[in-house]
């Protein structure tokens, strides 16, 4: 199917701009332009942004990042169809990989649903080996054309994809065109928080290329994928290799801080390697094993970690989480991964690192990645820096019913998600199947990153359906991680899920009585404060509870944790997720301002809070269990071994 054929399926492509679009454009035009940085200054965007190797989980030496200045034009969908998808028009330059809506792109305008965005550039091919063309993210439907040859239409705006374009290439410069349409929230595809009806917790839509574009050259028969499945209990790792063609025998080497500790001969498929004594990965000790995989003609580098996450019952009868056999309280922040000048696209590698380090420096050991899939390098930095990750699925569905997602849960009404598809904006059976596939593809893509310890399938009822079956589906793909099936509300029953998951903003948090599952406070807080000259939309601010003074904000954050979170730990609370890492557009409830230059909550306060959380958790888990075990041992020592 071509892009022109897809456009023909949607009548609104022939209509004039909607009032929603016009309003969104007017609102977006009032934004204040900010630059991401830290206390020391801005993170400058280079002429070739994000030039680092984009896929650290399977690295090759022969690659070329195509990010930079490309030609672009925007034409109406009707004109695009009339001209058969061809145009010689050029509107100007756009800086890839930033969406046209972003200031960083140099464009700064919203793409309407009745428009087509056309990119043009060139790339070089040496004429030997095969050449693969990678796109890390394009929102939402795109047709890729090399030297006039179409490679079809890719649909889906959040996962990476690639084409083998060798057959269309010639030695030297090659013409590349990418044609994009994005129907935003007019269709039920995964879109996260993007909407033309922006405001509050819903954000400006973005379109087109928003992830790195790059090429790599490979031999005729090459290693297509490599995933390491670590098994700490067996002190072994399964290096699973997928091949394109016959790659023959493989040599697999494993390294511990540069020292070779294993070398085996293998082949495509599973390669189980025993390691003997192993080093475990944790936030305090994020140790990574390095792996080299070589065939006769190809070579890739990857890595893995030994890490085990599990649910257990402590000696007081509460469900708890253990990491590597030790109790752990996960104290995290909600992170939506937005930046003022580049929106969903991190402006630089340094910006990603800075966010992770900033939260570690505040004492947090976990980030909940909310309704977004990050570039692979973000997860790699969490792996190497030691940050646990809860990964949300990107939400989809038709227009949400406020009564379902915002009203009924507050009066305790939870709907059956196997029968009320329309209420959950999931009436279309095919779209439910499409979303199920998207969830599976997301898990398969991200399961190689050891920092991810939990999958969150549905959030607050947004496009929720068949959550029990979806939980089984995800666990069937990956049974090494925990699952928060329905984060927030519309729980389907305690017998089905790992967690009882609460979102609390407008009332006091109280632990449930007689809950047999692990209890997590997966969203709370959201305390807000405007900071002059650091807000993108100072004329229209949003927050759950707004404070005008920094001392008052910090005092209330401290009270919130002290009065509601810390006492809940002795009653079984396993994790907490504070909203949120940074401000986003008009939503000013971040620990950091949108430009990351001001820590509103304060590093010292947050460290103090997290120290108390970890101390309290240890007192009621590790320390308590140890005392019970010691008491049992003393009683056993005092017994007559002959029972006389």
pLDDT in tens, 603-621: 999 999 999 999 999 999 9
* CATH code, 243: 2.60.40.10
pLDDT in the model for residue 643: 58
Do 332 and 404 lie in one domain? The reply is yes
Q: Are 64 and 214 in contact (CB under 8 A)?
A: yes
Band of pLDDT at residue 200, cut at 50, 70 and 90: very high
Do 262 and 314 lie in one domain? The reply is no
CA distance 639 to 644: 9
Alpha helices in 293-375 (DSSP H): 349-361
Count: domains in the chain: 3
| The token pair that represents 384 in the structure block | 């190497």
Q: How many residues does the chain have?
A: 644
Band of pLDDT at residue 641, cut at 50, 70 and 90: low
Count Cβ atoms within 10 A of the Cβ of residue 284 and give its class: 0-12 exposed, 13-18 middle, 19 or more buried.
exposed
Q: Are 375 and 211 in contact (CB under 8 A)?
A: yes
The answer to whether the bond into 149 is cis (omega within 30° of 0) is: no
Is 217 part of a structural domain of the chain? no
| % of the chain with per-residue pLDDT over 90 | 89
pLDDT tens digits, 502-514 = 999 999 999 999 8
pLDDT in the model for residue 531: 97
Last residue of a domain, one of 247, 267, 297: 297
Question: What's the mean pLDDT in 185-196?
Answer: 94
CB atoms < 10 A from the CB of 390, how many? 26
Do 260 and 399 lie in one domain? The reply is no
CA distance 71 to 56: 29
Is 302 part of a structural domain of the chain? no
Q: Is the pTM of this model over 0.95?
A: yes
Do 486 and 597 lie in one domain? The reply is yes
Structural domain that includes position 314: 309-628
Q: Nearest-CA neighbor of 570 among 326, 290, 225, 316?
A: 316
Last residue of a domain, one of 249, 265, 297: 297
Kind of pairing between the strands at 309-313 and 272-274: unpaired
CA distance 450 to 227: 11
Is 46 part of a structural domain of the chain? yes
CA distance 367 to 521: 13
The residue assigned the tokens 């050449």 is 131
Do 199 and 232 lie in one domain? The reply is no
Q: Are 528 and 573 in contact (CB under 8 A)?
A: no
pLDDT tens digits, 475-523 = 999 999 999 999 999 999 877 889 999 999 999 999 999 899 999 999 9
DSSP lists the bridge partners of residue 273 as: 237
Do 172 and 273 lie in one domain? The reply is no
Q: Nearest-CA neighbor of 193 among 56, 305, 343?
A: 343
pLDDT tens digits, 28-46 = 999 999 999 988 888 889 9
Last residue of a domain, one of 297, 327, 359: 297
CA distance 575 to 269: 37
| The token pair that represents 336 in the structure block | 């939506």
Do 597 and 457 lie in one domain? The reply is yes
DSSP string, 290-329: EEEEE-SS-EEEEEE-B--EEEEE-TTS-EEEEETTEE--
pLDDT in the model for residue 580: 96
Is 431 part of a structural domain of the chain? yes
pLDDT in the model for residue 596: 97
Is 638 part of a structural domain of the chain? no
* CATH code, 436: 3.20.20.80
Is 577 part of a structural domain of the chain? yes
Torsion of CA 49, 52, 56, 61, to 10 degrees: 130
Do 555 and 620 lie in one domain? The reply is yes
The distance of Cα 86 from the centroid of its chain, to the nearest Å, equals: 35
| The token pair that represents 529 in the structure block | 């404060």
Instruction: State the number of CA atoms in the 13 A half-sphere of 203 facing the CB.
Output: 25
Instruction: State the number of CA atoms in the 13 A half-sphere of 499 facing the CB.
Output: 29
Would the pLDDT of 644 be above 70?
Answer: no
Band of pLDDT at residue 639, cut at 50, 70 and 90: low
| The token pair that represents 206 in the structure block | 């973005």
Do 323 and 257 lie in one domain? The reply is no
CA distance 28 to 103: 11
Distances from the Cα of 529 to the Cαs of 316, 495, 585, 609, 641, in angstroms?
Answer: 40, 40, 13, 19, 67
Do 152 and 98 lie in one domain? The reply is yes
Q: Are 144 and 169 in contact (CB under 8 A)?
A: no
Band of pLDDT at residue 640, cut at 50, 70 and 90: low
Q: Nearest-CA neighbor of 455 among 468, 432, 439?
A: 439
- Dihedral over Cα of 242, 243, 244, 245: its sign: negative
| Arithmetic mean of pLDDT over the chain | 95
Is 641 part of a structural domain of the chain? no
Is 414 part of a structural domain of the chain? yes
Q: What is the largest CA-CA distance in the chain?
A: 100
DSSP lists the bridge partners of residue 237 as: 230, 273
Do 293 and 315 lie in one domain? The reply is no
DSSP string, 192-207: TTB-SS-BTTBB----
CB atoms < 10 A from the CB of 387, how many? 23
* CATH code, 9: 2.60.120.260
DSSP string, 421-449: TTTTT---HHHHHHHHHHHHHHHHHHTT-
| The token pair that represents 69 in the structure block | 């200045």
pLDDT in the model for residue 43: 86
For 255, the enclosing helix (H) or strand (E) is: strand 250-256
Do 160 and 278 lie in one domain? The reply is no
């Amino acid at each position: 199917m071509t892009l022109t054929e897809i456009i023909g399926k949607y009548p609104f492509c022939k209509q004039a701009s909607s009032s929603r679009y016009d309003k969104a454009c007017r609102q977006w035009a009032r934004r204040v332009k900010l630059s991401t940085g830290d206390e020391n200054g801005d993170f400058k965007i280079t002429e070739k942004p994000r030039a680092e190797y984009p896929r650290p989980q399977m690295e090759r030496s022969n690659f070329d990042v195509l990010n930079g200045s490309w030609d672009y034009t925007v034409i109406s969908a009707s004109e695009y169809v009339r001209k058969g998808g061809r145009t010689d028009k050029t509107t100007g330059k756009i800086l890839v990989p930033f969406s046209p809506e972003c200031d960083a792109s140099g464009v700064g305008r919203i793409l309407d649903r009745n428009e087509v965005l056309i990119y043009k550039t060139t790339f070089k091919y040496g004429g030997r080996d095969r050449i693969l063309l990678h796109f890390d993210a394009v929102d939402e439907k795109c047709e890729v054309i090399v030297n006039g040859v179409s490679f079809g239409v890719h649909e889906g705006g959040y996962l990476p994809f690639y084409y083998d374009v060798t057959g269309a290439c010639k030695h030297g410069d090659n013409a590349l065109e990418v044609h994009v349409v994005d129907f935003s929230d007019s269709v039920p595809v995964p879109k996260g928080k993007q909407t033309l009806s922006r405001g509050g917790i819903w954000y400006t839509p973005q379109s087109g290329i928003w992830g790195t574009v790059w090429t790599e050259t490979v031999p005729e028969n090459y290693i297509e994928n490599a995933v390491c499945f670590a098994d700490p209990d067996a002190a072994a790792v399964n290096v699973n290799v997928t091949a394109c063609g016959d790659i023959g025998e493989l040599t697999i080497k494993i390294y511990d801080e540069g020292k070779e500790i294993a070398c085996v001969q293998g082949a495509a498929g599973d390669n189980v390697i025993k390691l003997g004594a192993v080093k475990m990965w944790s936030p305090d000790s994020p140790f990574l094993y390095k792996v080299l995989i070589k065939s006769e003609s190809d070579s890739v580098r990857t890595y893995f970690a030994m890490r085990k996450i599990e649910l257990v019952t402590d000696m007081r009868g509460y469900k708890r989480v253990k990491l590597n056999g030790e109790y752990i309280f996960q104290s995290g922040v909600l992170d939506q991964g937005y930046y003022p000048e580049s929106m969903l696209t991190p402006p630089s590698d340094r910006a990603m690192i800075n966010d992770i380090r900033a939260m570690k420096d505040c004492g947090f050991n976990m980030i909940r990645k909310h309704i977004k899939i990050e570039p692979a390098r973000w997860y790699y930095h969490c792996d190497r820096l030691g940050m646990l990750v809860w990964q949300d699925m990107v939400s989809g569905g038709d227009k949400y019913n406020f009564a379902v997602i915002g009203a009924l849960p507050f009066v305790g009404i939870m709907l059956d998600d196997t029968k009320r598809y329309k209420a959950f904006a999931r009436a279309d059976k095919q779209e439910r199947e499409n979303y199920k596939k998207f969830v599976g593809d997301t898990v398969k893509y991200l399961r190689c990153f050891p920092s991810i310890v939990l999958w969150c399938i549905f959030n607050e009822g947004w496009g929720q359906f068949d959550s029990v079956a979806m939980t089984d589906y995800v666990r069937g793909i990956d049974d090494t991680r925990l699952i928060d099936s329905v984060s927030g509300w519309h729980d389907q029953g305690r017998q089905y899920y790992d967690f009882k998951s609460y979102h609390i903003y407008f009332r006091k948090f109280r632990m449930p009585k007689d809950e047999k599952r692990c209890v997590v406070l997966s969203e709370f807080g959201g305390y807000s404060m405007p900071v002059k000259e650091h807000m993108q939309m100072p004329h229209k601010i949003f927050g759950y509870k707004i404070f005008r003074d920094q001392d008052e904000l910090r005092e209330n954050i401290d009270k919130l944790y002290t009065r509601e979170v810390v006492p809940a730990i002795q009653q079984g609370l396993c994790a907490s997720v504070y909203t949120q890492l940074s401000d986003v557009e008009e939503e000013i409830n971040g620990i950091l301002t949108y430009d990351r230059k001001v820590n509103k909550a304060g590093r010292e306060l947050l460290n103090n809070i997290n120290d108390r959380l970890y101390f309290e958790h240890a007192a009621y888990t590790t320390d308590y269990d140890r005392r019970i075990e010691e008491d049992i041992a003393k009683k056993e020592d005092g017994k007559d071994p002959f029972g006389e």
